[in-house]
Amino acid sequence: MLLSIAYDGRNYHGFQVQKNAVTVEEVFQDALVRVFGARLPVKGCSRTDSGVHANQFCISMKTESRIPCERVIPAMNTNLPPDIAVTDCREVLEEFHARYSCIGKEYLYRILNRTARDPFSEGRALHYPYPLDTELLRTACRDFAGYHDFTAFCSSGSAVEDTRRTIFRANVERKGDFVEFRVAGDGFLYNMVRIMTGTLLEISRGSIPVEGIPEILESRDRRRAGPTAPAWGLYLNRVFYSESELI
C-alpha cells in the first residue's frame, strides 16, 4: 500500500522517528495503531529536516488488512492531527518501496517578497523584504539543470559518497507577493535545495554574478555557494515513480 500525505512541518523534527523529539513518522504510526490495530513498519520516500513541509510525501507499508484504500483515507485522517493529512492511497506491488522505487522529486521554496511580514505565512515561507528580480533568478537557476557534482551545494557532515545528481528542471516564478523556486531532480543532497536558494538570493544581492553557478559547481567548494536558507520555506512538493510524471 502506498499513501501520500501532506503536512505542516512546524511542529515536527522531520519525518523519521527520533528518540527525544516528535516526528511525522511517529504521529503517523500512532494513527496506524488506531486504524489497523498494530504499529506497522513504514517506509518513507525521503528524510525531511525539522520545520520542512510537504505537499506530497509518500509512505509505503505492508498490511494484511482488508480495509480498502478509499476507506483508509478518511479513517487515517480522523486519527491524525490537523497538520498532517492523507491525500491519496493506492495498492502497489509487494516489492514496492517508497524510497527505492522513487525516480525523482520536486522541491518548492517559497519566499514572501514584500516589505511587511505576513502573519499567515509565518513559518511557511521565508520573509525577504528586499527586491527580487525573478527574470534574473530564472536565468541563473537554469544552470542548475543537467548532471553535475553538487558538492558545493551540500552541507558539511553529509556521509554521501556520490555527490553527482541530475536536475531535470529549475525555475523561479512570482505569484503576487510570493516568489517560488521549484527544482526537480533524480535526488538531492543534504540541504541542497536550501543552499541553492541561498545562492540565488546572493545572486539577487549582487554578491554572486548571475553566470556564477557553473563555476561554483565546478569548484566543488561549499564556501563558494550561498548560505543555507531557513528550513521553513522548503516543501517536498512532488514525488515521481514513473517517467511520465517527470514531463
User: Residues 22, 30: contact at Cβ < 8 Å?
Assistant: no
| Distance of alpha carbon 36 from the chain centroid | 28
Q: Is-catalytic flag, 49?
A: yes
Measured distance CA(31)–CA(52) in Å, rounded? 21
All three cell numbers of 125: 515561507
Cα dihedral angle (136, 139, 141, 145), rounded to 10 degrees? 180
Report CA torsion sign: 180, 219, 187, 159: negative
Looking at residue 178, its amino acid is: F
Rounded CA separation 203/220 (Å): 18
Catalytic residue among 8, 49, 143, 186: 49
Q: Could you give the CA distance from residue 245 to residue 26 in angstroms, rounded to a whole number?
A: 29
Cell numbers that stand for 218 in this block:
565546478
Between CA 73 and CA 169 the distance in angstroms is 32
Residue 58: Cβ-neighbour burial (10 angstroms; 0-12, 13-18, 19+): buried
Q: Which residues are catalytic?
A: 49
